[in-house]
Amino acid sequence: MGKDKLKRFAEIATFDNVIELDNGKILKSQWAQTHFKNNNPVILELGCGKGEYTVNLARLFPEINFIGVDYKGNRIWRGAKTAIEENIPNVAFLRIQIENLLDYFTEKEITEIWITFPDPQPQISREKKRLTSPRFLEKYKTILKKGGPIHLKTDSDLLYAYTKEKIEELGLKVHVITNDLYKSDLVDEVLSIKTYYEKKYLAHDKNINYLKFSFE
């Protein structure tokens, strides 16, 4: 591991807005009350990377709590540091494997989920690792409040098509769907937030897919 990564890992251990591994388990069912010290809704960004969506959503909606979830601490460092520097209190980052979500959140604890530019895991052998596979969707169904939406933004046409297929197979409700977000009339202050990776894709004129769906 490079010196910069080691430095960032050491630094996030001192951040009050970063919770790592087992330390997050004691907050299960108590994220709003115990960590954020309020009773506001909690929204997750899964595979948050540098945390651009988490931080920008928190800026737009100070009355909502946002948690970015990722395993790579050197990426989380950027979003967490920005939130500290700008004194954004409604942001937290949880460093865990996403497959372990049910160890950290209880039933109906989460209002909404964002999945922004995840690894599409294109190999057939890695389908179960796709964040919109039935394996993960079952976990989301457990922790989401009734009617809570899931948002997917992705440059991957494969992941977009795969997710549409699973939504149809499982009989889920589609609210919004487009295979070219920035050529649609859907873009607002939320959907116009761009991650580091999204900016790279757009620079190469890549279409951006967007899906908003729920379990009921």
Known active-site residue 205: no
Beta strand spans in the chain (E): 18-20, 42-46, 65-70, 91-95, 112-116, 150-154, 173-178, 209-214
Total count of domains within the chain: 1
Task: Return the closest-CA partner of residue 59 out of 90, 26, 19.
Answer: 90
CA atoms of 155 and 153, how far apart (whole Å): 7
In this structure, is the dihedral angle defined by the CA atoms of residues 100, 101, 102 and 105, taken in order, positive or negative? Answer: positive
Mean pLDDT of the residues in the chain = 96
Task: Return the closest-CA partner of residue 72 out of 203, 172, 169, 196.
Answer: 196
The whole domain housing 45 covers 3-214
> pLDDT of 15-65, one tens digit each?
999 999 999 999 999 999 999 999 999 999 999 999 999 999 999 999 999
CA atoms of 98 and 100, how far apart (whole Å): 5
Question: What tens-digit pLDDT sequence spans the chain (216 residues)?
Answer: 567 788 888 899 999 999 999 999 999 999 999 999 999 999 999 999 999 999 999 999 999 999 999 998 889 999 999 999 999 999 999 999 999 999 999 999 999 999 999 999 999 999 999 999 999 999 999 999 999 999 999 999 999 999 999 999 999 999 999 999 999 999 999 999 999 889 999 999 999 999 999 999
CATH number at residue 109: 3.40.50.150
**Residue in 4, 16, 119, 157 annotated catalytic:** 119
Per DSSP, helices labelled H in the chain are 3-12, 52-60, 73-85, 134-143, 157-170, 196-203
The reported pTM is 0.96
CA atoms of 86 and 187, how far apart (whole Å): 26
Task: Return the closest-CA partner of residue 83 out of 105, 70, 65.
Answer: 65
CA atoms of 84 and 87, how far apart (whole Å): 5
